[in-house]
Amino acid sequence: MTAPLSATTGALPIEPGASRELSFAEALREAMGQALEADDRVFLMGEDIAIYGGAFQVTLGLLERFGHDRVMDTPISELGSAGVAVGAALAGMRPILEFQFQDFATLAMEQIVNQAAKIRYMFGGKCSVPVVFRAPTGSGTGGAAQHSQSLEAWYAHVPGLKVVQPSNPHDAKGLLLAALDDPDPVMFFEHKLLYKMKGPVPEAPYRVPIGKAAVVRQGTQVTIVASAIMVSRSLEAAAILAEKGIDVEVIDLRTLRPLDTETIIASVKKTTRLMCVYEGAKTLGIGAEIAAMIAESEAFDYLDAPILRLGGAEVPIPYSPVLEKAAVPQVADIAAAAERLANKRV
């Protein structure tokens, strides 16, 4: 398990051998470079990832190091590219396919949901599909309705898929290397606003386990469960509330499927209040699953207030910067909601 994050900045403390800092994008690039060096089965594919370095420059420089046979630009056909990736995985390769935006992965749902997720089950475990689908996600860049969605809950609904969503550079590298080791298809979502976030990252390869959440801030009064950009926003909100005498615990999910129910249940039993913060639309988002899970668990009897979901607005993401911010939870929204929850009783 990784060390706890700072309660104020969301940065990981420096580990032995990790005195340098990398950005989130650099950590991902390093992970892919190390994987390409270590395993000839690994290759990268996606629109504009080779010469241009990807829509967010995450794969920049890898073409020069590994050549066109390992770092491939693909046509503008998400469905076709996903089919190639699934077929290559079935043939024994370890492909990483980058979608320019998570929104565009919807064009490849046939291959992701009907093929990659189901093949190992349908063939009785005699074959697997070890493919990693990478995609930038979330709002905050002015991408408007078709380039800013947070659809992680769609994929987390599908048995056979694993869904990963790191919140910091350390976990980004470790989770990506873990995803490459996994025999099942992994949806790997990277929030766009995190690409420039810096933090300590060990140079040697390491793995962060898929399916294990992290308690990134200890607290006693309210549990906030979040992932991706909402982790650092929740940590900022927790710091604000600490000045008011409200002690908040923050859990970084890291993985949406499989969900680390044990960590969440243990925290709720301790704090007696639960708030789920996520960027996707509130209705049927990951917070709904977490709330239902707690309602069905032994933690339900410990609750001193109703579970609170703080999700995105029920609208397509607007282009206007003011409206875009209003459509998803910000630090002030999280702090205000958590304060209300701390003062509420059943």
Looking at the predicted structure, is the pLDDT value of residue 2 above 60? no
Residue 8: the pLDDT is 31
- The mean pLDDT of 327-338, rounded to a whole number, is 97
Residue 19: the pLDDT is 65
Looking at the predicted structure, is the pLDDT value of residue 4 above 80? no
Residue 226 or residue 16, greater confidence:
226
Annotated active-site residue in 26, 30, 47, 78:
78
- The mean pLDDT of 62-89, rounded to a whole number, is 96
Annotated active-site residue in 30, 47, 98, 147:
147
Residue 14: the pLDDT is 41
Whether this prediction's pTM lies above 0.85 is answered by yes
298 noted as active-site residue? no
- The mean pLDDT of 114-141, rounded to a whole number, is 96
Main-chain dihedrals φ then ψ at residue 306, nearest 5 degrees: -60, 150
Looking at the predicted structure, is the pLDDT value of residue 75 above 50? yes
The helix (run of H) or strand (run of E) holding residue 155 is helix 152-156
Looking at the predicted structure, is the pLDDT value of residue 341 above 60? yes
| Rounded distance between C-alpha atoms, residue 27 and residue 177, angstroms | 11
Q: Which contacts qualify for 125-128: CB closer than 8 Å, 24 or more apart?
A: 127/90, 128/89, 128/183, 128/184
Residue 166: the pLDDT is 98
Residue 24: the pLDDT is 97
Residue 13: the pLDDT is 44
78 noted as active-site residue? yes
Order of strands across the sheet with 42-46?
71-73, 42-46, 94-98, 132-137, 186-191, 162-164, 255-257
Residue 1: the pLDDT is 31
Instruction: Name every residue whose Cβ is closer than 8 Å to that of residue 235 and which is 6 or more positions away in sequence.
Output: 5, 6, 7, 8, 9, 10, 216, 217, 250
Instruction: Name every residue whose Cβ is closer than 8 Å to that of residue 282 and which is 6 or more positions away in sequence.
Output: 309, 310, 311, 312, 313, 314
Interval 236-268: pLDDT, tens: 999 999 999 999 999 999 999 999 999 999 999
- The mean pLDDT of 285-306, rounded to a whole number, is 97
**For 86, which DSSP code?**
H
Residue 345: the pLDDT is 76
Residue 6: the pLDDT is 36
| Domains of the chain, start order | 21-200 (3.40.50.970), 214-342 (3.40.50.920)
Looking at the predicted structure, is the pLDDT value of residue 232 above 80? yes
- The mean pLDDT of 208-223, rounded to a whole number, is 97
- The mean pLDDT of 107-116, rounded to a whole number, is 97
